[in-house]
Amino acid sequence: MLSPGLGPSERVDEICGADLHYWVYRDELAAGARTVLMVHGLRGTHHGLELIAEALPGRRVVIPDLPGFGDSGPLAGRRHDVDGYAHAVVALIERLGGRTRPVVLLGHSFGSVVAARVASSAPELVHRLVLVNPIATPALRGPRVVMSGLTSAYYALGAALPARLGRSWLSSKWLVLAASRAMTRTRDEGLRRFIDESHLRYFSRFHSPAILAETFQASVKSTVADYADALSTPTLLIAGETDEIAPTAGQYELAARLAAAELVVIPKVGHLVHYEAPSRAAGEIQRFLGVS
């Protein structure tokens, strides 16, 4: 829950044919503070990154709902994949004045892949890059292949069913809770309830089963490593020690490939750094950014 007074303002612009909704935190700092633009992961909305935004005093933060998720409409004439989302993020950065003053770009999970795509293709728009629980290794290879195959079947069935049945299947309370609890590491019962409630409230705010399935396929076929050789932007990687979706072995390999990267591993946390350790993550981000 946000502290009283953070007061994000909601805005909506037509970007890439979509009514893109985004939230601006501490807009009063616009004249003097560099904008931090945050990109959420698969099935997320801007709400998931609010705790990190709250823990960044002195920073103007902008968080959109990606096209097809939350309050944002779908893209027009583009696929909901890494390139499609990256195109929308570039357009938003330009709308925010990024050609004049490049932004700090942060991506969580699948959002890390989108952010890496943006930074590799338009480095002039990105001052610093922050990747939280970055996807460094393909989900369809290695030790996670069986679980990834089952998850792929789950999304494929949701897209194949009639729209109403497909949405019910993909939004099943028990399946959402199972995913939530599989990713949660904290033993704090209050925090566990908060995470479960957040996933139940926001995890199923997708435009259609077809768009969700399209995005899921992009999320398991693409990684930050696909863009590593083209990334020259100073980059902070924030990993969870027990993350099974983005294992730390891949994070060390990714950090070694990047031209200017620093890796921070947060202990006793998995894929939900933004929920379980937002203050620690924000502290590392503040240190990394310094006065920039």
**Averaged over 210-234, what is the pLDDT?**
95
Backbone angles phi, psi at 69, to 5 degrees: -135, 155
Tell me what pLDDT residue 1 has. Answer: 46
Percent of the chain at pLDDT exceeding 90 = 87
pLDDT digits (tens, 9 = 90+) for 116-141: 999 999 999 999 999 999 999 986 55
Please report, as a single letter, which amino acid is at residue 65: D
* Extents of the domains making up the chain: 9-139+223-289
**Averaged over 184-211, what is the pLDDT?**
96
Q: How confident is the model at residue 5 (pLDDT cuts 50, 70, 90)?
A: very low
Work out the mean pLDDT of the chain and round it to a whole number: 93
CB 9 within 8 A of CB 24: yes
Tell me what pLDDT residue 2 has. Answer: 47
Q: Is residue 267's pLDDT more than 80? A: yes
Lowest-pLDDT range, 113-122, 126-135, 150-159, 216-225? 150-159
Tell me what pLDDT residue 6 has. Answer: 60
Tell me what pLDDT residue 96 has. Answer: 95
Tell me what pLDDT residue 143 has. Answer: 53
Q: Report DSSP letters for 126-195, one per residue.
A: EEEEEEES---S-TTSGGGHHHHHHHHHHHHHHHHS-HHHHHHHHT-HHHHHHHHHHH-----HHHHHHH
Tell me what pLDDT residue 101 has. Answer: 95
Q: Which CATH class is domain 9-139+223-289?
A: alpha beta
Tally of CB atoms within 10 A around 192: 17
Q: How confident is the model at residue 145 (pLDDT cuts 50, 70, 90)?
A: low
Q: What is the pTM of this model?
A: 0.95
Tell me what pLDDT residue 153 has. Answer: 87
Q: How confident is the model at residue 146 (pLDDT cuts 50, 70, 90)?
A: low
